[in-house]
Each structure stands twice: as structure tokens, then as C-alpha cells.
Amino acid sequence: MSSSYRWVIVAAGGLLGCVAIGAMFSLPVFLRPMSEETGWSVTGISTAMTIGFLAMAAASMVWGNLSDRFGPRPVVLAGSIGLAASLALASRSGSLMQFQLLFGLLVGISTAAVFAPMMACVTGWFDTQRGLAVSLVSAGMGMAPMTMAPLAAWLVTTNGWRESMLIIAGIAAVLMIPAALLVRRPPALATVENEVSVVEPQGDMTVREAVRSPQFITLMLANFFCCATHSGPIFHTVSYAVTCGIPMIAAVTIYSVEGLAGMGGRIAFGILGDRFGAQRVLVIGLLAQAFGVLTYVFVSTLGPFYAVAALVGFIYAGTMPLYAVIIRENFPLKMMGTIIGGTAMAGSLGMSTGPILGGLIYDRFDSYALMYIGSWGMGLAAVLILMTFRPFPQRQATMVPA
């Protein structure tokens, strides 16, 4: 039962992530239509996304801790209901500030209930093929640019942004709530009659010790700069392409190319991480990501945009699941939600920098070049930080009852 059902968990996690991330990242598609219809500035609307990432950061560790205590199902279910309701409310916003709070704060908090609990859940279901499993869940999230983004673009050209966002809210409710009901606590943490001894890294470690460890702090910092590297390029590339004279519908397809490449990247990096070690592969990926985002400075037509998007999507999407693998190799299963939530918090803070800084740079200089150069610098910082990570000594692994 456990052996076969673990792939149901992977499928549910992929679907939940796809819809949740896709719904949140519909805002870049709505950015210019919203600004033109309402008169709100690009920076102001982008700030809603920044608030969303800050809300995700604040909520990630809380949701992760709750999933450790009560299991992932109630947490993910609450997030699914909250996301649908938040999108519906945001579509009715009467002012920029109201939209920033409804979309930014509530959507961000709800989305955070999906990522860390599901990643923690999946790592607990797999003792082998763990890198591949978390990569497949992440690949589901990567389907968002190929599904939700084109859907949002089509909706906004025919219905306007308010009706489009309301429709996406309905889609989120219909798909996410049933998927959340399929989620189960990993068998190793479930109450069972027969106890089986398993090797558990740092089995006697407390949460307080874990969050104060250099390993946890290093992973948080690396994830912050990693996400800060691709945040601006992800959020503003459609807008950048439009400023280069590419039509909106064609510009959105850049997201689709990026997402398609990301699907391959997630699976490839997951397999490579299982074979050569997650940390080694992640360092190489972060270095490639830094130079990949810098390449956007030199493109202005659709063909080169596709090429760079494919490269960047393959790399950044492939690197993200490897953090969960490193965490599972170094911290006990009983606190996976909390620790992954902590690194997700740092990642969300990193993601929060791109939308607002990119908007400020564009409003000030009428160009996105400095944003991509800054992203390159933050990518190099992520590489240097992760190179200092040292795993816990293997001798500290202990035998604990499952």
C-alpha cells in the first residue's frame, strides 16, 4: 500500500503546486492590462507580488510546523480553500491598496500552505528515488507556465482581468480541494502497531538545535540568494518582452517555453542529484543560473527570448527541489515541515525582491538591464554561500522507531 500510494502523493503534490503557483503567477500576465485599465502603476501592482512573497515567507515555517504536528492534509486543505477565496476577493478590489492586501497577503499565506508541507510529506514517503520524487512534485509546479499562464493570458484578452481572476479562483477550488483530500502523513510518522527501526539522521536533534545549526542557516542564505536571482527575471520577463515589441500572447509563450524546459530540468537535476550528490549538483546549477539570467540583457526578439528562457528554466527549476533532498539527508523526518518551511521562508523573501526592485528599476530607467545584472550578482553570492555548507557528521545518525 505504502509503496504504490507514494506515487499518488507525488501526483497530488504536483497538481496542488501547479494550480497554486500558477494562480499566484497569473499576476505577471495581468500586470499591463491591470495598469492600463485601473491607472495603477507597474510598481504598485508589482508590490502586491512582493507582499505575497513576504506573506509566504512569514507563513511557510508556521504551516510547516503545523504539518509536523497535525499532518499535511489539514494544512494543504486549508491552503486550497484559502487560495480560492483570496483570489475571488482580490478580483473585486476597488483600490490598489486593497488589491495589494487581498492578493499579496492572503494569496501569499494560502500558497505557503502547499509548498513546504507537500515537499516535507514527499521526502517522508521515499527512502529511495527521493531526488526524483521531489523533482516530480516540483515538475508539477513547473507546469504552471505551460497551463495556468496561457490560460490567464487567453482569459484576460477576452474577459478582462477581474473576471479572469475570478475564473481562476473557481478552477483552484475545483482542482485543489479534492487533491488535498488525497494527501496522507508519511507511514514512518503514522501510528502503527509494529515498530520498525530505521536510520534517522540527527534523530535526537531538537527543533531549537536544528534552526540554530550552521547547516540550516547556510541553506537559508543560499536559498534566499538563489530565489532573488531568478525572481525578477521570472516576474518581469513578459513585460520586458512586450517593451521589446513582442505581442502579449507571444510574450506569454516565453513562460511556456521556460516551464517546458523546467520540466526537463527538474527531472534531470533530480536524477543527477541521486547519482552524484545533491549539494554538488546544486552548486553547479546555481553557477549556471547566474550566467543564464544575465543573458537576458542581450536579447530583444522572440527567438533569442525562447532560447534564453529554455536555458534559464531548465537550470533554475532543476535546482529548487535539491534543497529538500539536502535537508532530508541532514535533519530528522519529524521536523521536515519546519526545516523545509524555514528554507522556503528564506526563498520567499528572496522572491519578494524581484517584483518591486524590477518595477522600480523599470520606472526609473525605462529599462530592465540593471535588474538582470543585479540578478547575476545575487546568483554568484548563492554559489559562494552554498560552497560553505558542510553536512552533519555521519556518526550522528541514530536508530529510531518508525
The correct CATH number of 2-185+204-392 out of 3.30.70.20, 1.20.1250.20, 2.40.50.140, 1.10.260.40 is 1.20.1250.20
Tell me the pLDDT tens digit for each residue of 311-356.
Answer: 998 998 888 888 888 988 888 877 888 888 888 888 878 887 887 7
Distance CA 270, CA 255 (A): 22
Distance CA 93, CA 161 (A): 11
Task: Determine contact, residues 109/345, Cβ cutoff 8 Å.
Answer: no
Residue 1: predicted pLDDT: 43
Site of grid cell 552554498: 386
Distance CA 257, CA 266 (A): 14
Q: Which DSSP string do the residues of 286-334 spell out, in sequence order?
A: HHHHHHHHHGGGG--SHHHHHHHHHHHHHHHHHHTTHHHHHHHHHS-GG
Q: Which residues contact 285 (CB under 8 A, 6 or more apart)?
A: 269, 315, 318, 319, 322
What is the Cα 24 distance to its own chain's centre? Answer: 10
Q: How many CB atoms lie within 10 A of CB 174?
A: 11
Residue 28: predicted pLDDT: 79
Which residues, given as ranges, of the chain have pLDDT below 70? 1-3, 128-129, 142, 145, 188-203, 394-402
What is the Cα 213 distance to its own chain's centre? Answer: 24
Distance CA 329, CA 216 (A): 12
Q: Which residues contact 349 (CB under 8 A, 6 or more apart)?
A: 53, 54, 57, 224, 227
Residue 373: predicted pLDDT: 93
Give the residue extent of every domain in the chain: 2-185+204-392
SS3 247: coil
Tell me the pLDDT tens digit for each residue of 387-400.
Answer: 999 888 764 444 44
Q: Is the whole-model pTM more than 0.75?
A: no
Q: Which three cell numbers stand for residue 143?
A: 507546469
Q: How many CB atoms lie within 10 A of CB 21?
A: 21
Residue 138: predicted pLDDT: 75
Residue 94: predicted pLDDT: 85
Q: Which three cell numbers stand for residue 256?
A: 511556456
Which helix (H) or strand (E) covers residue 400, if one does?
strand 398-401
Task: Determine contact, residues 87/165, Cβ cutoff 8 Å.
Answer: yes
Q: Which three cell numbers stand for residue 212?
A: 540554530
Residue 194: predicted pLDDT: 42
